Amino acid sequence: MSSLEERDRDRDGGVAAPAPGSSSAGAGPAGAGGAGAGPEAAGAGPGAGAGLLLQDDPGLRRDGPEPDPDQPPKKRPRIPEGESGKLEERLYSVLCCTVCLDLPKASVYQCTNGHLMCAGCFIHLLADSRLKEEQATCPNCRVTQCKYKRIGCPWQGPFHELPAHESECSHPTKTGTELMGILGEMDQSHRRDTQLYNSIFSLLCYEKIGFTEVQFRPYRTDDFITRLYYETPRFTVLNQTWVLKARVNDSERNPNLSCKRTLSFQLILKSKVNSPLECSFLLLKGPYDDVRIKPVIYHHSFSNDTNETDYVPLPISDSVECNKLLAAKNINLRLFIFQVQK
C-alpha cells in the first residue's frame, strides 16, 4: 500500500499525506521538511529533484553550453510571400537580358557599361552589324538627350530613362538670369566650333592636300619596366614619307594605376627636304570606328633638323573613348596634311 501512495505522491507534486499505520518518516527534522509542499521537499529522489530544478530555475536554463563556431549557421526564416515577390522582381530586373527582357538560360554577355545580353541576342546583334557594315554597339548604350538641351541641360542617357529625367529636370524652373548665363556659355562654345570649321574650310582651299588611313600598332619599349607605345608603318603623303607615334598618359610609368587615360601622338618626317616644309595636320576617326574625336588643327614647320613634332594630345572626349582605343587590337584613324604655300 505504501508503494501506491508513493506513486500518488509523486504524481500529485509530492504533497500527499503519510499513510496511517506507516512508520513516521517525518518525526525528525528531515521528516518535517519532507511534509512541506516546496520543491526541496518534493525533491526526495535525485531524479525528481533535478527535473524540477531545471524546469523552475531560469538561471540554470541560461547556463547552457557555448554554441560551436564550426556548426553551420541556422537557416534564415522564410520571407513572407509578398516580400519574396518583390525580391524576385528586383533580381529579374537586374539579371534579365536588356534586349529580349528574358532570363538568360546559357551564356551571358556584358557590355562595358554593365548591360547584360543573352547569347541569342548577342549573336543577332553581331549579325546585324555585319549586314549593315558597321560596328556592333549595345542597344542600351545608345544615348539620347534631354529635350531641354537647348537651354543648357547636359543630360545624356538611355532612352528608357528619358521620361523620368525630363519630369525631374531642373532647367525649366531656372530663372531668366540663370538661363542667360547658360545661354552665354553655349554661345561661346558655338563660336569656338564655328571658328574651327571655318579654319578647316580654309585649309580645304589649299593646293596641296593629302590624306591617308593610318593604323597604330602596339609595341613595347626595351626598358626594364616595359611601356606600351604605338607606331604606324611608313606611309607617303604629299610625296614625302611619314611615321606617326603615340603613347599613353605621356609615357607614365604605371598608366594601369590611373583612372584617367589619354593618348598623345607626334608626326615624324622621314624624308630629306631641301627647304622647310610648313604643314597643318589633324587626325580624325577612321571610316569604320565609332570613337568620338573632336578635330584639332596642329601646325609645324618640318626641316632636316626639326623633322618631328612635339607630342600633342589626341582630342578624344574622355577616358572611356581612350579605353575603347586601347582595347582594340589596332587603332585606325585618318590623317590629313595640308601644305602651306608661301
pLDDT tens sequence across 77-118? 555 555 555 777 777 777 888 778 788 887 888 887 778 888
Please name the residue that has the C-alpha cell 532647367. Answer: 171
List the beta bridge partners of residue 117. 109
- List, for residues 143-197, the tens digit of each pLDDT value: 788 888 888 888 887 777 888 888 899 888 888 888 888 888 888 988 998 998 8
Give 298-309 pLDDT, tens digit per residue: 999 999 999 999
Residues 32-51: tens digit of each pLDDT: 343 344 444 434 444 444 44
Q: What are phi and psi of 95, to 5 degrees?
A: -95, -10
Alpha helices in the chain (DSSP H): 2-11, 29-35, 39-42, 46-56, 58-62, 81-95, 119-132, 162-168, 176-203, 319-327
Q: Between these two residues, 295 and 254, which has the higher pLDDT value?
A: 295
What is the pTM for the complete model shown?
Answer: 0.56
Computed over its alpha carbons, how large is the radius of gyration of the chain? 42
The mean pLDDT of the chain is 76
Question: What is the secondary structure of 21-49 as a DSSP string?
Answer: TS--TTSSHHHHHHHS-SHHHHTTSHHHH
Distances (CA, A) of 341 to 10, 225, 277: 123, 45, 9
DSSP assignments along 279-296, one per residue: EEEEEEE-TT----B---
Beta carbons within 8 Å of 162's beta carbon, 6+ residues apart: 144, 146
| Span 191-211, pLDDT tens digits | 998 998 899 899 988 989 999
